[in-house]
Structure 1
């Protein structure tokens, strides 16, 4: 506690100094982070192999490559993101100017995840740095080799007065949650997410929860090369990322009953080169595997009489992090978009939405809330401050008492943005004064 208190005090002092608010500091930290992953690539590969058995290709695709892409994207756009944006001001307030000024939230806490212990720890950090915050990073203790590596190398590259990494288990997490933060970012399960949110509520701390959920695949009637491509992408989306241990990994497939045998046979052929997967055809819907996130190499296939029944099947359950739908039917696509709710929808592929910096990544309902990636990461760790610049020229007297019918009509027209009516009202008032003067 004493060490943590000193660390927090230093982080808050660094933030108050304004050091992290400048573009130069942010860019320097992002370049240092790029250097970190480039110079320690071999060590990262080894740590991921020890913790999760990842092949270097998979490790680069899902971890190192994600971090480098994200940092480079932020470096290319950070000055534009930081720049004030023009805000629209009613003509009634002329002469005035409005702007929206992005400012960092302060000192933030980021919880990494064990299944992608490099990318899901450093990618949110990129957003926090880009926005100009000071940060405490808590990697997952369930990936101890990666946690230890990050703890050792991050202080060698990044500003230790602004970015600190703290290792430990649930007891350390509990101590961290007792502190007052300006933002908490958590990636993990809905069960732990509710604990994070409860702790944050004590200090009214804003949170971003990137949680999991049962992400379905809807497989419409396809044939030939389209069907083979769909099955290959389904297999890759289920068993490719960390043997199914991914929040956006496929949880089950919805398919018409008459196509199920073909699907199973194609999957059997497709997955011979992967791991030892298990396919479950029509398991009981009240079974644990159909109510909880699987996070493993098991794939339930649910058969339906009509593929349109998949809409109700999904809608009757908690909102998923993502929906994958393989179809060439535009009407059915529109139906999926209009009649289901999910963090995202990907048509005719799996997982690839995660690397799209131009699309927000996040859940809805039980699958989490808040969003990040690219500019959305910057926004997540920023506050958009509204700024109004007024002139001393022209005074709106009707906003002050004493009240009369004229002032009521003036305010009524002002709130309806009826500037023509306001002008006519003022002209009418002028004519009345003129008549009174003639008398």
Structure 2
């Protein structure tokens, strides 16, 4: 795999100018053109499966199963669905209006916003790069993709594949680090999508504000798991939560970040966690090809730091190999408020268990912290479910499993508050990059109907318009 080549400022400017010209020329407007590009995305993924799997393995040591099932497959499926449903999404709408306005043909037009900037992360570098690109194509928007330099092999591969499969006058990959993205953000985009952390999101939002550019942010955060032991199968819950922490070595924006459980049930849950660890063969994780590595030395050292500073007790795992950036999935019990494991989003295979007095205290704990990207809860108690629906805020709410809401294409993927804003996936991404344009055609034959508006104003005209507008009650005037 070639070394990642950063783009120059001149190359960035040239790409920007080209994409703006393409949009103004209307190249991306026809639905037939968009469908061809969506089919090209499918072709790009299917013809380069092995190269993509290898790049993901090199950057993240991502297992083949996770590469196919969690990155390539979902993007093929969503590109196909986007092409199949595009006619329906793009269809003009005729809203219901009062009878006297129907002759005006009121219409809601679906129109592309313009040139999109996508800044994607390293943890799911295919999925989180192509999901917004698929939406941009469907919406008729040219786009620049700025993938993460932290996953250099995938970023280099995308830069190589895009011009071979997608129209280079409409879709470009720009690679680089801080200087390059700083230059990119000085340009005026019509929409920016960023997936990553809150610190960078604030930088991007400030840059976007200079041009009043709308932004879609997906920022992760600490996604809690609430365990209601009264109505939950603790063995299944433990296995599902632990699996959620092993997926991509916990480097997932919707990974379960910590567990809140009544302290009276902590011992039973820990025993269930230990049984699940044996079943998932976590003791061999450091040498297994079923577990990913930490992406970089920096991230590895950060995780080892919060582990060594924690006051919690390790009940599963704890081992690591620095040279391979591998950490055994590790579970801590009796983790207290202000522990190092609760400082920020973990983004690694580490799971703290935080005992609370009861479910009510768990809800209070969640509400005392920034709104998570997703709230997981294991319960079959209708009252507990309703309390979580009504009394907490999160981008998603997921009962009795983890991660699976991401596989439901018809649901919006979004955050709230510090976990982000805007929605993604299929039509939701299409809608992000589309603006609604109002249109009416008032016929000349309507002149008698609108003549009341002209000066000089009379009492009769004022009375009739007041009735028509709804300001006062009375029989509607026709002239």
Length-normalised TM-score, structure 2? 0.85
Aligned to 1:437: none
Which of 263, 267, 289 is the matching residue for 1:257? Answer: 263
How many Å separate the matches in 2 of 1:104 and 1:300?
A: 45
1:409 pairs with 2:463: yes
1:227 is aligned, of 234, 237, 258, to 234
Residue deviations 1:294-323 (CA, integer Å, cap 9, x gap): 101111111121112221111111111010
Q: 1:300 to 1:112 in 2, by over 3 A?
A: same
**Residues 162-241 of structure 1: pairs in structure 2 closer than 5 A:** 162-222=170-230, 226-240=233-247
User: Are 1:372 and 2:424 an aligned pair?
Assistant: yes
Which residue matches 2:398?
346
Residues 56-205 of structure 1 mapped to structure 2, 5 A cutoff: 56-205=64-213
**CA-to-aligned-CA distance 1:323-363 (integer Å, 9 cap, x gap):** 01111111211111111111110111111111211110010
Q: State which of 323, 332, 342 in structure 1 corresponds to 2:375.
A: 323
Q: Classify 1:312/1:223 alpha carbon distance in 2 versus 1 (closer, same or farther; 3 Å).
A: closer
Return the alpha-carbon distance in structure 2 between the equivalents of residues 367 and 47 of structure 1: 29
Structure 2 residue runs without a partner (length 5+): 1-8, 286-327
1:422 is aligned to 2:430: no
The alpha-carbon deviation at position 222 of structure 1 amounts to 4.5
Q: CA RMSD in A?
A: 1.8
1:47 matched to 2:55: yes
Write the distance in 2 (CA, Å) between the matches of 1:107 and 1:317.
36
2:241 & 2:463 partners in 1: Cα distance? 63
Q: CA deviation at 1:422?
A: 2.5
CA distance in 1, matches of 2:334, 2:453: 68
- Mapped to 1, the partners of 2:166 and 2:63 lie a distance apart of 28
Tell me how far apart the structure 1 counterparts of residues 474 and 236 of structure 2 sit (CA, whole Å): 62
Secondary structure, in 3 states, of the residue corresponding to 2:164? helix
1:396 has 2:450 as partner? yes
- TM-score (ref. length: structure 1): 0.92
1:122-179 Cα offsets, whole Å, 9 max, x none, are 1110001110111111111000111111111111111011111111111111110011
8 Å CA contact 1:89, 1:97 repeated in 2: no
Looking at structure 2, the residues matched to 336 and 400 of structure 1 have their Cα atoms a distance apart, in angstroms, of 56
CA contact (8 A) 1:87 1:97 kept: no
3-state SS, counterpart of residue 422 of structure 1: coil
DSSP 3-state at the match of 1:5: helix
Q: CA shift at 1:92, angstroms?
A: 3.6
Question: Cα gap change, 1:290/1:246 in structure 2, threshold over 3 Å: closer, same or farther?
Answer: same
Distance 2:56 2:230 in 1: 38
Whole-Å separation in 1 of the counterparts to 2:100 and 2:121? 51
Deviation of 1:405 after TM superposition, in Å, equals: 4.1
Q: Distance in 1 between matches of 2:241 and 2:430?
A: 32
Aligned length: 423
Match of 1:361 in 2: 413
Output the CA distance in 2 between the equivalents of 1:218 and 1:411.
Answer: 57
Runs of 5+ in structure 1 lacking a partner? Answer: 431-439
**CA distance in 2 between partners of 1:146 and 1:222 (Å):** 45
**Structure 1 SS opposite 2:377:** strand
Question: Partners of 1:7 and 1:327 in 2: how far apart?
Answer: 51
Distance in 2, Cα, partners of 1:59 & 1:317: 33
8 Å contact 1:357–1:375 — kept in the other structure?
A: no
